Structure 1
Amino acid sequence: MKRIAPLAAVFALAACGQGDTTGGDAGDADTASDPLVYQGAITVLQPTQRDSAGLCAFVAESYPPQCEGLPVAGWEWDAVEHEEAQGVRWGTFVVTGTFDGKQFTLTEDPLLLSEVDPADYQPAEPEIGEPAEDLTAAELTAIADDMGERFPATVFGGVADEAHGVALVDALLVTPEMWAYAEDNFPEGAVAFTAVLQPVE
């Protein structure tokens, strides 16, 4: 089944009008008293076999679309405009909320992507410094794979960026635990993250 990248999925599905329009495990949980709040543009989808909506890092190019997304608490389809076909409901939104290690909980009402400037919600470029060690492509790939195995709820891909000498890890969002794990287990500067949802400052 063919897949498309997260931001491509967001904008492709935002333009999709074939459906009926209806009205409106992971790493350790964040133990801070004030959990980080994340925000970004993403596809939200609920297939027929699931009881809750999910945030989709990848969306299958099918109709209706398909994905296995991170569960979203507080989502109400009746409160937002969305597409629906064959029992599947989906749309592209700007979401704001917190992550407890298992699910994403909304802290603000979602916004339709079509009602905002998408350029304001582009993922930030990864922060790539000077790696402390020269690692091989195989070593960088192993690091990316390790991050995916350790944080399966948030990491959805990774590659060896040989040009910069880092493991480039693709994530739905990056938690403090993910940063700490990378710093504690790999050479300094060996991991760089790209994230769909960014911390709200």
Structure 2
Amino acid sequence: MTLRRFAPAAAGAALLLLAGCASMGPGEQSAVPPAVSPAAPGTVVGQGTVLQIGDDAPQLCLGAIAESYPPQCTGPEIVGWNWDAIDIKETANDVTWGTFAVFGTWDGATFAVTEDPVPLALYDPMMSDPDPRLDPENAGESSDAELRAIQEVVTTDLPVDVLFSFSENGYLFVTVYYDDGSIQEFFDTVYGPDVVAVQSALVAV
């Protein structure tokens, strides 16, 4: 979940590793790796945990949260954050945290707050259409075994920040910070269309 920065040589090494993997599709030789985490062109909203340890910069955690007290997580820095303006929060062992809907801009590495956050307990998001790839009538054709093999590669060896992944309805669903289309295009080139379904944790407002 920690942001990983791949130099071009490292990205190339990752692709060479992929090329030798039995789970690769026919397009691995021509796949061009996307940015580790593409920037968003406008204001986005994300739902997650903001956590700060001592005097370190606060982090926006959109991935897994360790069930401890205080909780543990890592994520990109969130700038413009002001705990003094937040009423609903917790502090323990020099850690301050809370769960919020946060609004701001995303440059691919840092989230910058542009509007007041809303505690998730009070947040009423606009209903969005469900992902059509979850509809049984649009089921993918990949087997569970094939998707598990792809999942192992996607979550460990690719130059892409993956927050969550799970297989359902014949697809491997992969959640990233934000996809401008380049991550989905990359996976479609590597594995073929309708195999990996990319979803964004940060959604345009």
Q: TM-score, normalised by structure 1?
A: 0.67
CA–CA distance in structure 2, aligned partners of residues 90 and 80 of structure 1 = 10
The runs of at least 4 aligned residues of structure 1 exceeding 4 Å deviation read: 121-124
CA distance in 1, matches of 2:153, 2:77: 23
* Higher relative strand content: 1
Residues 131-150 of structure 1: pairs in structure 2 closer than 5 A: 131=140, 134-148=141-155, 149-150=158-159
After superposition, the C-alpha distances for 1:69-104 in whole angstroms (9 at most, x for unaligned) are 222122222222221111101111111123222222
Q: RMSD of the alignment, in Å?
A: 2.8
Q: Is the 8 A contact 1:127 1:193 kept in 2?
A: no
Identity %: 31
Q: Give me the whole-angstrom Cα distance separating, in 2, the residues matched to 1:95 and 1:49.
A: 21
| Larger of the two Rg values belongs to structure | 2
Structure 2, gaps ≥5 residues long: 6-33
Higher relative contact order (Cα pairs below 8 Å, separated by 6+ residues): 2
What's the counterpart of residue 74 of structure 2? 68
SS at match of 2:163: strand
2:115 alignment partner, SS class: coil
TM-score, length basis structure 2: 0.66
* Structure 1 residues not aligned, in runs of 5+: 1-24
Please give the per-residue CA displacement for 1:81-138, whole angstroms capped at 9, x wherever unaligned.
2211111011111111232222222232212223333xx267864331454xx33333
Residue 105, structure 1, aligned to residue 99, structure 2: no
Residue 14 of structure 2 corresponds to none
Q: SS state of the match for residue 182, structure 1?
A: helix
- In 1, are the aligned partners of 2:38 and 2:108 still within 8 Å (CA)? yes
CA distance in 1, matches of 2:62, 2:163: 10
- Return the alpha-carbon distance in structure 1 between the equivalents of residues 128 and 201 of structure 2: 5
Distance 1:56 1:160, change over 3 A: closer
Count of residue pairs brought into register by the alignment: 166
Return the letter of the residue paired with 2:183. M
1:151 to 152, 160, 166: 160
In structure 1, what is the Cα distance between the partners aligned to 2:128 and 2:49? 14
